[in-house]
Chains A and B, each alone.
Chain A
């Protein structure tokens, strides 16, 4: 059952989940979760364009293309928000759908070309971890490790940036550079994950673990560890389930596992509904006595 390749894929998606859990926490705290969603959708035109230009399905090229268009979409959102009276939500929605539309246009062109039919680029929409080769996994390992290491290295600076940007600026931290690094790492996480999870559901891996972890703790360090753990568990369980039955995309199952963890946390965590309900009843009792 546990063939050598599956073991590799499992550890790959686990590492991906951990990386996404960490960068997702930072983007969650900056209230940038949906920007991640837009950036993930915007990877599609990059992939298709890279394929059209190079004519081959070498992962480094595709990842580079995806990274460029994702970063461009984030930049576009910031540009629209600062240069027009448009609100952030409209800017995100607009950029997301337009980039995705451009991606679909390019993808149609790719599918029409003689090479395109076998290119398997359509797998990028929902992800197919099982089809990943050793070389693909190598890239995943490398970039996930880089993401995790850089996040740990910049932990203190980002913490300050998120919770007290004015003070951070006061003590001379390069705010803009730090923000840019965070954006780059988030884009990197997305690009790393799209092959396994797909462009549409990649954002879930950034948002759900962080949102679940937030229900359990108020401390950043604990939240990061929890979020990474939840991401890792979702990655490994989801891949395992999808490997058992053929024909299932990996992405949706990973997301559903993460969502299950979220909704369980929503009810049983300290900040969750059940303990809230208990507290309410307790208050009511105290009220009766007094």
Chain B
């Protein structure tokens, strides 16, 4: 049963991040997600300092706040003439440094240690249970399910609008689609995803889950819907394979999941190249009489 919950949590992380990652890749905002995953630490620490508790709800609020703050600051610096990569770099490193400093100053002896936030410890997930509606499930599973529902609702409500705002933002704005609202709404859902996953795979490796599966599926899919499906599959596969490899070699589960994400990407890229080359060779042969 314990193993089941660990694998199930990993699976949920893979699927949730896989869904959230698709628009991240398409909107070219991967590095903003990376920035948010770092600054979520700042939000969580602020939430802890203000409420003096490790309540999941306030953590979610703090993380969402930090995520929006990051997106907003990057946008602000970028629009005042600082190139985007530097704007991202400045914002996330300084907020992250502030988060680390606040932890060592105010929360040094609590459960909130930096390494836990960064790398997570999925193996401890099953021990921390919440009972709701007569169902006793690990806290992390509840959080992930909640975020998954939020993400899917957001997508179902705004799928068309997001698509248009992603591929033709100028036209989208001109026909009255709230492009700015969508941008920040999406950033909020990314922050939610990050904080829900941080307990299990850690704030940094959640980025691997956000970017990796979606990037891999971007290589092979031709429509957005295809991309969603593949991305979810890759995310789920990476977490399950990663878990068993980690168990096999007795090492960090989160680290192994990220490594698997990388492997899946490389395998897909190379096999895609080989297929492409074969197809070209075939066409070449057919054209030669």
**A binding-site residues for B, Cβ under 8 Å:** 28, 31-34, 37, 80, 83-87, 89-94, 96-105, 107-109, 112, 122, 125-126, 200-201, 203-204, 207-208, 210-211, 214-215, 247-249, 251-253, 255-256, 258-259, 262, 266, 271, 273, 276
Contacts and interface: CB of A to CB of B under 8 A. Distances in A.
Contact of B25 (A90, A100, A256, A262): A90
Contact of B29 (A89, A203, A262): A89
Q: Which of A31, A86, A276 has the most C-beta atoms of chain B within 10 angstroms of its own C-beta?
A: A86
A256 B98 contact: yes
Interface string B202-218: 00110110011001001
A90 B81 contact: no
Contacts of B252: 104-105, 107-108
Contact of A98 (B34, B208, B246): B208
Q: Which of B93, B215, B250, B269 has the most C-beta atoms of chain A within 10 angstroms of its own C-beta?
A: B93
Contacts, number: 185
Nearest to B265: A94
A92 B259 CA distance: 15
Contact of B101 (A93, A96, A248): A248
Interface in B63-114: 77, 80-83, 85-90, 93-94, 96-98, 100-101, 104, 108, 114
Contacts of B122: none
Contact of A97 (B108, B205, B218): B205
B59 interface: no
A241 to B, nearest CB: 10
Given A90-B25, A97-B205, A125-B115, A84 B269 contact: yes
B207 A97 contact: yes
Contacts of A214: 82, 86
Contacts of A208: 89-90, 93-94
A59 B259 CA distance: 26
Contacts of A207: 86, 89-90, 93
A182 B273 CA distance: 30
Nearest to B246: A105
Contacts of B257: 101
B94 A90 contact: no
Given A33-B89, A125-B118, 8 more contacts: A34-B31, A91-B215, A92-B31, A94-B265, A108-B252, A201-B96, A208-B89, A208-B90
Contact of B28 (A89, A200, A247, A273): A89
B28 A102 contact: no
Contacts of B87: 211
Nearest to A104: B255
B194 interface: no
A80 B30 CA distance: 15
B60 interface: no
Interface residues of B, number: 58
B89 A126 contact: no
B108 A255 contact: no
A93 B262 CA distance: 11
B211 A256 contact: no
B236 interface: no
A108 B101 contact: no
B31 A84 contact: no
A256 B97 contact: yes
A231 to B, nearest CB: 14
Interface string B234-261: 0000000000001001111011111101
Contacts of A266: 77, 80
Contacts of A83: 269, 273
B93 to A, nearest CB: 3
B275 to A, nearest CB: 13
Nearest to B219: A84
Contacts of B98: 252, 256
B33 interface: yes
A262 B90 contact: yes
A100 B258 contact: yes
B11 interface: no
Contact of A89 (B31, B208, B261, B272): B31
A105 B94 contact: no
Contact of A96 (B34, B82, B88, B97): B34
A102 B258 contact: yes
B97 A259 contact: yes
What are the 9 A-B residue pairs with the smallest beta carbon separation, nearest first? A101-B258, A98-B262, A104-B255, A259-B94, A204-B93, A97-B208, A207-B89, A93-B30, A252-B97
B30 A109 contact: no
A112 B250 CA distance: 9
18 contacts: A34-B31, A93-B31, A94-B30, A94-B211, A97-B204, A97-B205, A97-B212, A98-B265, A100-B258, A101-B208, A105-B246, A126-B100, A200-B38, A203-B89, A208-B89, A211-B89, A252-B101, A259-B93
B162 interface: no
